[in-house]
């Protein structure tokens, strides 16, 4: 069941009304939301639900046992639980990839079938590792069963994030929630996110997907390839930022707050700034649970650069078991390492100083998206070679079929400018402006609705 389905939206409205009636009884309300979340997972198949509950049960028992033993044994149990989570993720997501590549190197066939990635396994694995590591560091108290299941299974963030930490969501549980302001903001976030997903990302997918095939792509100019790559940037932003806003909106409608996941990444002037604006919760997770434990920047510049490269390579591989994702992560790691070498972490004093670095950053990010989108390395390299094929004035011509997609992509670009525009609005008119914007986007959601497509990050 997709979050853009009309049936899901009706169920969500019913859940919000029920939770409002259950507002004086937080425990009952939270159990109701947990059950609803599990029903949503079951709508995608029984196996994803069984796997989620099995992994959740093993980790819950591991934490419970760890509480009753000595600190040394406690650490060993929690490390074993983390190893189990990583092994489960690796088995379903990477076993076929590893076996296939080993088979090529050794000249044999291991016969490991592609199992398919169970729904949400990447995201709830990260949530579990976060909880276990924080318990090992004693940064968070142990969660009761209701808190634990709510933290892990809360449906807005379960399937594709944002990645929530143990100190962010459980602390909101067990209390009577104020809903008046949350309902207004919740509707706004959901409508804007729905617009980015269905109007922008959905229509862009229909328009540019054919251009990623070799037969169609061969007839495109260099400028066309750059436009298609940029439009995919707009598509994946609309898809994932749209989902994240819908998640924030759904949580607000129920009286809870999730962390923001996007802050205008197309405005980033450095790769470091890009990762402070794109998939923010993932970049913070990688920083806190991978980069810093590896040594961070505490052991000199050379070690810091190595840690950056390892972190981004693993971050790329987390997105999918394919060399295209490894290269995508490597490109971001190289960009971050180059900035560390050039000393570009500081803020720019003047606006004009940002422009050349902004251009370099956004071009590098756009080229990296080619690897993210392509089905294999050869296709990605062919696409990039075509981007660089300026063999005459015809290379600068843009195909007529890309004009309408560019107008649709403008929706993603304008969304980046919206906070800047709202900052100029007097505070007393801010609510009116947001209301008008929400109404206009709601009308567009109903009129320009694209055929339903699964969210891109659902497959990760």
pLDDT tens, 16-72?
999 999 989 999 999 999 999 999 999 999 999 999 999 999 999 999 999 888 888
Q: Would you say residue 243 lies in a domain? A: yes
Give the pTM: 0.93
Q: Are residues 200 and 219 in the same domain?
A: yes
Tokens of 352: 């004009």
Domain boundary among 131, 152, 176: 176
* Residue that finishes a domain, picked among 122, 151, 176: 176
Q: What is the pLDDT of residue 112?
A: 62
Long-range contacts of 216-219 (CB under 8 A, 24+ apart): 217/382, 217/383, 217/386, 218/386
Q: Show Cβ contacts of residue 184 under 8 Å, excluding neighbours closer than 6 positions.
A: none
| Same domain as 237, residue 163 | no
Q: Structural domain tally of the chain? A: 2
Residue 414, in any domain of the structure = yes
Stretches where the chain sits below pLDDT 50 are none
Q: How confident is the model at residue 86, as a pLDDT?
A: 95
Question: Of 157, 188, 279, 319, which residue is the catalytic one?
Answer: 319
Tokens representing residue 399 in the block? 């195909």
pLDDT of residue 366: 97
Q: Which pLDDT score is estimated for 117?
A: 82
Asked if residue 265 and residue 139 are part of one domain, the reply reads no
24 in the same domain as 97? yes
436 assigned to some structural domain = yes
Q: Return the pLDDT at 253.
A: 94
Block residue for tokens 């819908």: 246
Domain residue limits at 119? 6-176
pLDDT of residue 414: 93
Verify that 202 and 216 share a domain, yes or no: yes
Rounded distance between C-alpha atoms, residue 71 and residue 75, angstroms: 6
pLDDT at 441: 87
- Which pLDDT does position 399 carry in this prediction? 81
| Chain position carrying tokens 């670095």 | 357
319 is annotated as an active-site residue: yes
Instruction: Pick the last residue of a domain from 142, 158, 176.
Output: 176
Q: Give the angle 300-304-306 at the CA atoms, nearest 5°.
A: 125
**Prior bond to 351 cis, omega within 30?**
no
Same domain, 142 and 62: yes
- Cα–chain center distance at 162: 7
């Amino acid at each position: 069941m997709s979050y853009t389905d009309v049936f899901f939206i009706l169920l969500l409205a019913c859940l919000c009304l029920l939770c409002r009636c259950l507002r004086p009884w937080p425990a009952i309300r939270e159990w109701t939301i947990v059950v609803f979340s599990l029903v949503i997972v079951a709508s995608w198949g029984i196996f994803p639900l069984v796997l989620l509950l099995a992994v959740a049960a093993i980790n819950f028992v591991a934490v419970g046992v760890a509480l009753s033993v000595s600190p040394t044994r406690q650490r060993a149990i929690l490390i074993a639980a983390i190893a189990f989570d990583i092994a489960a993720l690796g088995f379903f997501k990477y076993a076929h990839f590893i076996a296939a590549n080993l088979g090529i190197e050794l000249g044999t066939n291991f016969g490991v079938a592609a199992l398919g990635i169970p729904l949400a396994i990447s995201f709830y694995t990260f949530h579990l590792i976060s909880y276990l590591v924080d318990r090992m560091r004693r940064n968070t108290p142990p969660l009761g069963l209701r808190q634990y299941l709510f933290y892990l299974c809360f449906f807005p963030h379960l399937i594709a994030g944002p990645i929530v930490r143990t100190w962010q969501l459980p602390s909101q549980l067990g209390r009577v929630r104020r809903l008046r302001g949350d309902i207004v903001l919740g509707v706004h976030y959901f409508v804007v996110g729905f617009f980015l997903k269905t109007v922008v990302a959905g229509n862009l997918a229909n328009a540019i997907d054919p251009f990623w095939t070799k037969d169609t792509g061969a007839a495109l100019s260099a400028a066309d390839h750059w436009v298609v790559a940029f439009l995919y940037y707009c598509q994946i932003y609309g898809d994932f930022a749209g989902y994240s806003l819908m998640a924030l909106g759904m949580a607000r409608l129920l009286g809870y707050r999730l962390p923001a996941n996007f802050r205008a990444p197309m405005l980033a002037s450095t790769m470091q700034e890009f990762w402070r604006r794109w998939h923010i919760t993932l970049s913070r997770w990688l920083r806190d649970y991978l980069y810093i434990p590896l040594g961070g920047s505490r052991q000199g510049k050379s070690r810091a650069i190595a840690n950056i490269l390892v972190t981004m390579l693993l971050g790329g591989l987390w997105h999918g078991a394919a060399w295209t994702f490894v290269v995508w992560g490597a490109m971001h790691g190289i960009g971050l390492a180059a900035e560390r070498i050039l000393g570009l972490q500081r803020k720019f004093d003047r606006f004009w100083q940002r422009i050349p670095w902004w251009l370099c950053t956004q071009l590098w990010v756009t080229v990296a998206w080619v690897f993210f989108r392509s089905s294999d390395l050869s296709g990605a390299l062919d696409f990039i070679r075509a981007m660089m094929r300026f063999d005459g004035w015809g290379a600068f011509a843009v195909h007529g079929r890309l004009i309408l997609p560019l107008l649709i992509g403008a929706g993603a670009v304008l969304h980046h400018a919206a906070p800047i525009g709202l900052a100029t609005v007097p505070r007393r008119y801010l609510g009116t402006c947001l209301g008008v914007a929400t109404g206009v986007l709601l009308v567009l959601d109903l009129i320009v609705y694209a055929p339903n497509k699964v969210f891109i990050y659902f497959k990760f």
